[in-house]
Amino acid sequence: MESIYYVLSWACHRKCRHCYETRFRPYVRGALREVVDEVRAAFPKVIANLPEDFTYLDLSAPSETAPGGYERRPGRIILAGGEVLVDPVREEVLYPALEMLQARYAGQGVRVVVQTTGDLVTPQIVDDLLTRGVWMISCAGMDDFHVGMEGEKRVPLQERLRAMFEAAGMRDSALPVTERNWSNLGPGQPVYSFFGATDDAWIGKIWPRGRAWENSLSKAGIGDNFCNAWSGGLNFLRRGFSGSEVSVDPNGDVFPCCLKTKKAIGNLKEERLDDIIDSLVGHPAFEAIATGHPERMGLAYGWDVGRFLEESRTTRPDGAPYRNLCIGCDRFHEKVLGPVIDEIRERRMALRVAAE
């Protein structure tokens, strides 16, 4: 894979109205302990079932001399939340997970990214992360939806963070919010970045998910294809090549996109990621997702494009009409694809048992 977006924990210190997942929120006392214990039990199994070879061939970098005809680059794993820096997630989950990744991928150059809202970062935490092999600290809370970060209010925090990072020997990635091509950033010196749900960002239209949906915040229409972009399902089946990415939940559930389909395609506590991906290659519904054309995912099941587009119509909680391909994808999963996913998983598990 080029990239895995791994949500380590539901715990967060904020409850943002634009969040795509309602489970991202503050937890206290017993509820917090339950959330932390769940992921403490899950993450070693999840990491153990990640690809052994976490590199990929970059199809944008042909080479006459490199094996395979393209430059081979190290993959990337993004550890996110929630907020991975809250106590006790940071000490009990994030740091041990970083150490496990460092040991598992020693020598492969895998780039580990820690995504945070930014407001909990301290010089000691920066040192702790860099010591554990973190290549990038990505501050994702830089937008008007995060309380206290509206407009110019976030500038002082960004300046403090910039000074903190550069004092630790990090450099600005200088990636614009419209780009996700991190392969252009050379190895060596660790980097930092800032982004948020701003109008110019790839998530600026706001995903129709979670509290963002409950608060009727999505501005995406039927022409806004989240699937056909980074963090969408685009290229998720292209294992071993550039563009391949999946999303993983704290419980190990795997999805072809960060928005998350209505049903997980597998679970990394039970299965290898390579096996899950390979079992879906060639399947018409998942190939449609992987090519960025979700409107075609039902063609083999009697859902022509017109039917899919009609199923993409709904009403927002505020009563306004709404149309987006993510809604059609949800309905196709509910009405057709859910049992298909279960059948594919049962076949995978049977093959696994037979091989043991």
CB–CB of 144/167 below 8 Å?
no
Across all residues in the chain, what is the average pLDDT? 93
Give the Cα-Cα-Cα angle 1, 201, 75 (nearest 5 degrees). 15
Judge if 183 and 315 occupy the same domain.
no
Read off the tokens for 27.
Answer: 């937890």
At 149, is the pLDDT very low, low, confident or very high (cuts 50, 70, 90)? Answer: confident
Judge if 266 and 306 occupy the same domain.
no
Cis omega before residue 82 (within 30°)?
A: yes
* Average confidence (pLDDT) over 305-312: 98
What stretches of the chain adopt beta strand conformation (E)? 3-7, 55-62, 70-74, 76-80, 111-116, 134-139, 171-172, 191-194, 245-248, 253-255, 266-267, 313-315, 321-323
Judge if 256 and 139 occupy the same domain.
yes
Judge if 302 and 242 occupy the same domain.
no
Read off the tokens for 237.
Answer: 């089946």
Last residue of a domain, one of 271, 295, 325: 271
At 352, is the pLDDT very low, low, confident or very high (cuts 50, 70, 90)? Answer: confident
Please state the φ and ψ torsions of residue 315, each to the nearest 5 degrees.
Answer: -125, 130
* Alpha-carbon distances, residue 271 vs 2, 42, 93, 252, 265 (angstroms): 19, 12, 21, 10, 11
Per residue in 47-71, pLDDT (tens digit) is: 999 999 999 999 999 999 998 899 9
Judge if 141 and 244 occupy the same domain.
yes
Judge if 255 and 143 occupy the same domain.
yes
Q: Does the residue 154 lie in any domain?
A: yes
Split into its structural domains, the chain has a count of 2
CA distance 53 to 44: 17
CATH number at residue 74: 3.20.20
**Cβ contacts of 266 within 8 Å, gap of 6 or more:** 253, 254, 273, 275, 276, 345, 348
Decide which of 59 and 201 is more confident: 59
Judge if 220 and 325 occupy the same domain.
no
Q: Which domain holds residue 307?
A: 284-355
* Alpha-carbon distances, residue 260 vs 55, 255, 355 (angstroms): 24, 6, 31
Last residue of a domain, one of 271, 305, 329: 271
Q: Does the residue 279 lie in any domain?
A: no
**Eight-class DSSP state of 264:** -
Judge if 305 and 221 occupy the same domain.
no
Judge if 339 and 229 occupy the same domain.
no
| Helix pair 29-48, 95-104: axis angle to 10 deg | 0
CA distance 84 to 7: 9
